[in-house]
Structure 1
Amino acid sequence: MGVVVNLDSGKREATIKPLIDLTKADMGRVNELILSKAGSDVEMIPEVANHLISSGGKRLRPMITLAAATMFGYEGDGHVKLATSVEFMHTATLLHDDVVDESDLRRGKKTARMIWGNQASVLVGDFLLGQAFRMMVEVGSLEALDILSSAAAIIAEGEVMQLAAANNLETTEDEHFAVIKAKTAALFSAAAEVGPVIANATRADRAALRSYGINLGLAFQLIDDALDYGGSSADMGKNVGDDFREGKITLPVILSYRRGTLDEREFWKSAIEQGANDDAALERAISIMTRHGAVADTISRARHFGEIARDALAPLPNTPQKSALIDVIDFCIRRIN
């Protein structure tokens, strides 16, 4: 679920540039800590970890953690350790995802599992999770530890839910939302909430950032769902149709299957359940989705969650950090424009 967005486009970079600028100094410290904590005397661990860590991700989640802490006046260094923990949790999830999904490519490069094997990918992911929790403990905030450890458990539950729903065209929209809320939105929510927690912000402020994060995460993942059928490789850092070829049940597929004719449903069964998903099948899939407005409705739902995220921040005082976090909502949704 960790799609990478190319920041070379002027339009997109301008959208998220305030957040990048605000967190630049602290992100420098995060990047140093990432390299330090990914190190090990076991040679394969830094090799596998750095393969993914250095492959071009924009590190949006740790930037959110940093901004969410400083917007409430935090001045210590705990936010740097928590931001690094968030990034390690995300990286571990990507390593595990690629094994579960049997993915060959990520961000245009061979996945770690293709180079070092499934076992190494899973075990290095576990190592990164361990390092993440060590840094959380160092920060000394039991509440922050509770939030991030709970998120780790929820993400794992989401992985299992997705595995149970794999290739199942009877998956409902509600069931799909439960999966993406766990797999993607939970980490966005935790990344946003731990900032005000260590800044000793009010419970209302914490709730605002938690709501912002979870709804931003839902919007982010729904746009990823839509991008697989209506985007470009530059937008995603992967090939159009990858989800389709892997037989993933995403919202555009769910809507198209439920709205489709009997013949179209038979097509989806052949493509998703039986693996008949060549380029011609992808072309037909996109045609069916267009006919039923499945991609457009997926984007519409993403915008809905984006507005909830925006409203969550509305009562907070106007600060550069608040403005930058609002810009992130537009950035996530505009990836498909």
Structure 2
Amino acid sequence: MYEYEKMNETEKLNFLAQLSNLYYELNMTQSEIANKFSTSRFKISKLLQEARDRNVVEITINNPHTRVNELENLLKSNFNLKHVIVLDNKSLPLEETLSSLAKLGAEYLDSIITENSIVGVLWGKTISNVVKRLKPKKKLPITVVQVMGAAAKDDPLIDAPELIRKFANSYGGKYKYLYAPLYIDNDYARKAILQEPVINDTLFFANKADIILTGIGTVDAVFASTLWSKYVLANQHSSNLASSKAVGCAFARLYDNSGQEAVIDVNSKIVGIDLEAIHAANHVIGVAAGKFKAEAILGALRGKYINVLITDDDTALKVLSLAQIEVK
């Protein structure tokens, strides 16, 4: 075991993975592993802890997920939704709630994905959590497609290109990038870029997506990327943004509380899937939680930006309250 210290980083990670597999997958005891490698149980225990510290091993606790059927039925009937999942969050912190919703979202996705499904994926921390929790029952020849131009998130691990690659790999499927920015200010340039074969081909697939996974953002979501916050501020007068009465953002589009696209220039500068295609998709799954997002979620429901909602009970109650729908 003295050779471990002499290994390079890649060799160390591989060795830690080997030990972890023996302990966690093959259920060998630490003493048995120690005997196998002619070392002490204490040394094996230390290395297993290192494997956890270095994220070679990630331990997930699967708490039972209780759902609130009454709220699900109210949302489904009042907004003509295909499916609703409302988590009883038991007053969990928001981060834990989002983690539980991610698992429910991953399970729901796996239940509807079929052979040759075309799956559109957007971006964000919530969507990243869903993709991370995907555990397909079987491999399927699906195509995962980037449906909007690059969001240019400050963290590339939660941006669309990385997420569609991970999503596709989990199923053993293919993926298609959209090699374009999210917004193009010059109308002539935007129309020309949309005609480029590689971009046109990806948008062709995007507009045929039968499943789309998206988050639902507040108006502040437009400013979440350093790049686009500067762009939007440079191209919009603050009074214009205020007068638009925008309450939320989905598919990079700002909309008001009735779900109508806000009258604001940035909505006409988008590179990505058409609204008609969004409305035509079989399953447009919105995963979102937090009372601060309730108004944005309500606008998305009214505007038919999604037809499947996955949220928690506190958020659902706030949405229903804003919509003046009585909960008995």
For the criterion TM > 0.5, the same-fold answer is no
Instruction: State the TM-score, normalized to the length of structure 1.
Output: 0.27
Q: Which has the higher strand share?
A: 2
